[in-house]
Amino acid sequence: IRNIKDHNYIQRAATEEDLIFLLKFGKGAQKLQEEFQYKGYNLYPNPVFSNFLRNRSRYLEEVDTITNYALKRIGFNSIYEVNMVPNISDRLVMKIGDYHCGENKWLLGAGEKVPYIKHKLRQEPVLFEEFVPNARSIRIGIVGNPNKEESYFITEHTNSEYAKQNAHTSWIKNISPNETTYLYHEKGNLHISEIDNLINETKEFAIRYNTDLIGIDWVVSGDKIGLLELNDMIGIPDDERVLRVFQEHVFNLCIKHLGS
């Protein structure tokens, strides 16, 4: 196990005989994944799916033609291409770059002047996305075979005290969030009328993009449900049951690889 920042060591140590669990984050790790994929190394999770998610605006264009819960959004190559917030919804979330984790997001009104962005972010792609007020933050995850109910977990994120202290982040629910996790058979405890449809869509995306590790983020309010994003590096919630499912899945992948 190596820190993903130790690119040089990982690059030298990896071989075509290995099964490489590359839980990447950032452009350096992305380049490492590309190199290993080009060499034909055995990678987990599916690098084709990871590459698909590389450009947020582009992949969401395809996803929005499939889901029944598309949000209004529009993307630009950089902030230089837009001066005013697009008038596609009363309030919008502006997201800079393709790596977020709660960062580089602004809640803006339609027609407002785009706020000043630090120089290092100006070259990054920008996405404007419809904001759903008073919404719950729900992630539906799959670890393993999407055709098996035991592969599913559902996590609700609520504001941490840290996020609530800052007006600029109080509307974002995934900054060091409080989490409540449910297994498939506990889905009724969320009291979301469309939960079965959301689970079915998550399954369809997993099968479509041939991945056994996926997390889909949704916003759910009384008036609207929206698909926010697909994730390959999903993070395992702080729940022993889900962790056990992940451990068993990884163990089985390793046994399968050793026997091949």
Residue 100's pLDDT is 62
The model's confidence at residue 158, banded by pLDDT at 50, 70 and 90, is: confident
Residue 147's pLDDT is 97
Residues 81-90: what's their mean pLDDT? Answer: 95
**Cβ proximity of 82 and 68 under 8 Å:** no
Q: Which residue has the tokens 């399968």?
A: 256
pLDDT at 101 over 70: no
Q: Is 230 exposed, middle or buried (0-12, 13-18, 19+ CB in 10 A)?
A: buried
Q: Cα angle vertex 119, ends 231, 159, to 5°?
A: 40
Distance CA 178, CA 237 (A): 10
**What stretches of the chain show up as alpha helix (H) in DSSP?**
7-13, 27-39, 47-52, 56-64, 161-164, 195-208, 240-259
The 10s digit of each residue's pLDDT in 127-155 is 999 999 999 999 999 999 999 999 999 99
Q: In what order do the strands lie in the sheet with 213-220?
A: 178-183, 152-158, 136-143, 213-220, 225-231
pLDDT at 163 over 70: no
Here the tokens at position 108 are 């803006």
Q: How distant, in Å, are the alpha carbons of 44, 214, 223, 243, 253 from that of 143?
A: 12, 7, 30, 10, 12
Q: In what order do the strands lie in the sheet with 126-130?
A: 73-76, 126-130, 91-96, 105-109
- Full-model pTM: 0.92
Count CA atoms closer than 13 A to 211's CA, side-chain side.
28
What's the sign of the alpha-carbon dihedral 202, 246, 44, 103? positive
Residue scoring higher pLDDT (164 or 203): 203
Q: How distant, in Å, are the alpha carbons of 113, 153, 183, 243, 247 from that of 240?
A: 46, 12, 11, 5, 10
Residue 185's pLDDT is 97
Q: How distant, in Å, are the alpha carbons of 72, 141, 161, 257 from that of 246?
A: 34, 11, 29, 17
The model's confidence at residue 166, banded by pLDDT at 50, 70 and 90, is: low
Ramachandran angles phi, psi of 72, nearest 5°: -75, 130
DSSP label of 186? G
Residues 253-257: what's their mean pLDDT? Answer: 95
Distance CA 235, CA 213 (A): 10
Q: Which residue type sits at 25?
A: F
Nearest to 190 by CA among 227, 215, 153: 153
**Cβ proximity of 121 and 173 under 8 Å:** no
Residue 25's pLDDT is 67
Q: Report percent pLDDT > 70 for the chain.
A: 92
The 10s digit of each residue's pLDDT in 206-236 is 999 999 999 999 999 999 999 999 999 888 8
